[in-house]
Amino acid sequence: MKTYKSLLALSGTLCLLALGVGIAHSQESSASSTAQVHLVITDQAMSDSSEVPVLRPDAIKVKQGKNLLKVTQLIPAQGENAALQLFILIDDTCDTSIGNNLTDLKDFIKAQPATTVIGVAYMSNATIQITQNFTPDHDLAANAVRLPRGNLSTMDSPYLSLMSLVKAWPQAKVRREVLMITDGIDRLRGDRSSGSQLPSRSPAGMAAPTTNTMATISPDADTASRNSQRYGVIVHSIYAMGAGRLGRNAWEAQLGQSGVAKIADETGGEYFALGTQNAVSFKPYLDRLQKIFNSQYYLVFQAVPKKKEGLQRVDVSTDVANADIAAADNVWVPAAK
């Protein structure tokens, strides 16, 4: 099986597959004090029962700190600009009871438009094992979906696996999105939840106070989120129960959900879960995800650079009635010149 490194060999192919997006290639604006950057944003309705409102460039506000930035383009990700690279990551530690849901996933893959190329991989040992590289052949991609192995390795971390993919993903001016299917539990750093410690003895023979440490989400969740934002990758995720003792532990499952939901929220994606149980069907989630893909825009604006390149916090909003925009928290801004 190919590892994530084989993604690097796809850059030439993807350049041919990618549809041209009308975004200026220059990273500098006419004013030396700003730099042109772009985000992919999702236009959502406040209620599922309402139609998604149409966005206009003059109705979009982008703030960087106290600075109100100039919006130069708002391009619907449709028609000649509809190209999408979608990578599906399935956690090999998922319980095999997920099998019935994989039929929904295969149907979703097959129903994708011709402008979408799809890759499939399985997460294990802090990396990914690719079963299908990016391909416009959706039947081929669907056939690459198999049951997760439902077993554990020595280094299982969905966050490190996501980082492996994101860092190896060839750059392209198209939408780049991931669908993760995982319980989010970081088994590699499982010792982070050290409950109450036994009292220790002071030199005078007195018992020292008992120290209680509460478990937290994986420290790698924040790094995976920032890496995804650095490379302009939107992460969506569906919860699936994991195998083994930790997979059955509601506390660990909630921590895992929090870590993956954090990444989805901060990258502008969506997180789907029904408590800590497997959904009867993934179809409602996947229908929602398709609606998201159909309602995306390229937002181009002039950011204020700092002395060094890096992620800059931005806030995207609109005054269009009934509109609810999903966007990454941060955008990569080149250094000032």
| pLDDT in the model for residue 31 | 47
Q: Stretch 113-142: mean pLDDT, rounded?
A: 96
C-alpha dist (Å) from residue 108 to 87, 112, 176, 203, 285: 13, 7, 17, 65, 10
pLDDT digits (tens, 9 = 90+) for 222-267: 999 999 999 999 999 999 988 877 778 888 888 889 999 999 999 9
Q: Stretch 79-107: mean pLDDT, rounded?
A: 95
Q: How far apart are CA 282 and CA 253, in angstroms?
A: 18
Q: What residues does 129 pair with on adjacent strands?
A: 3, 122
**Which 8-state DSSP code applies to residue 7?**
G
| pLDDT in the model for residue 211 | 44
pLDDT band for 40, please (50, 70, 90 cuts): very high
Whether residue 193 is predicted with pLDDT greater than 60 in this model: the reply is no
- Nearby residues of 47 by Cβ (< 8 Å), 6 or more positions away: 322
pLDDT band for 3, please (50, 70, 90 cuts): low
pTM for the predicted model, two decimal places: 0.86
* Maximum separation of any 2 CA atoms in the chain, in Å: 77
Q: Please classify residue 152 by burial: count the beta carbons closer than 10 Å to its beta carbon, then call 0-12 exposed, 13-18 middle and 19+ buried.
A: middle
Q: Stretch 318-332: mean pLDDT, rounded?
A: 92
| pLDDT in the model for residue 15 | 43
What is the Cα Rg of the chain in Å? Answer: 21
Whether residue 69 is predicted with pLDDT greater than 50 in this model: the reply is yes
Report yes or no: 106 and 179 within 8 Å, Cβ to Cβ. Answer: no
Q: How far apart are CA 296 and CA 325, in angstroms?
A: 10
Report yes or no: 307 and 335 within 8 Å, Cβ to Cβ. Answer: yes
| Main-chain dihedrals φ then ψ at residue 237, nearest 5 degrees | -150, 145
If we measure between CA atoms, which residue out of 233, 145, 223, 234 comes closest to residue 188?
A: 223
C-alpha dist (Å) from residue 192 to 219, 264, 276, 289, 290: 9, 22, 21, 33, 36
Q: Stretch 86-94: mean pLDDT, rounded?
A: 96
Tokens of 311: 């992620």
Task: Assign domain 81-193+213-293 to a CATH class.
Answer: alpha beta
Mean pLDDT estimate for the chain: 85
Supply the angle between the helices 99-110 and 283-293 in degrees, to the nearest 10.
30
Q: Kindly state the percentage of the chain with pLDDT values over 70.
A: 82
Greater confidence (173 vs 116) lies with 116
Whether residue 205 is predicted with pLDDT greater than 50 in this model: the reply is no
Helix (H, G, I), strand (E, B) or coil at 10: helix
| pLDDT in the model for residue 188 | 86
- Ranking 11-15, 181-185, 329-333 by mean pLDDT, the lowest is 11-15
Q: How far apart are CA 55 and CA 297, in angstroms?
A: 9
pLDDT band for 187, please (50, 70, 90 cuts): confident
Tokens of 316: 């995207």
| pLDDT in the model for residue 173 | 86
pLDDT band for 5, please (50, 70, 90 cuts): low
If we measure between CA atoms, which residue out of 164, 180, 177, 41 comes closest to residue 117?
A: 177
150 CB neighbour count, 10 Å cutoff: 18
pLDDT band for 49, please (50, 70, 90 cuts): low
- Nearby residues of 191 by Cβ (< 8 Å), 6 or more positions away: none
- Nearby residues of 25 by Cβ (< 8 Å), 6 or more positions away: none
- Ranking 73-77, 146-150, 172-176, 247-251 by mean pLDDT, the lowest is 247-251
pLDDT band for 207, please (50, 70, 90 cuts): very low
Q: How far apart are CA 15 and CA 243, in angstroms?
A: 39
pLDDT band for 25, please (50, 70, 90 cuts): very low
Q: What residues does 71 pair with on adjacent strands?
A: 301
Domain spans in the chain, listed from the N-terminal domain onward: 81-193+213-293
Greater confidence (109 vs 126) lies with 109
Whether residue 2 is predicted with pLDDT greater than 60 in this model: the reply is no
Report yes or no: 86 and 179 within 8 Å, Cβ to Cβ. Answer: yes
If we measure between CA atoms, which residue out of 179, 119, 129, 178 comes closest to residue 149?
A: 129
Tokens of 166: 């994101």
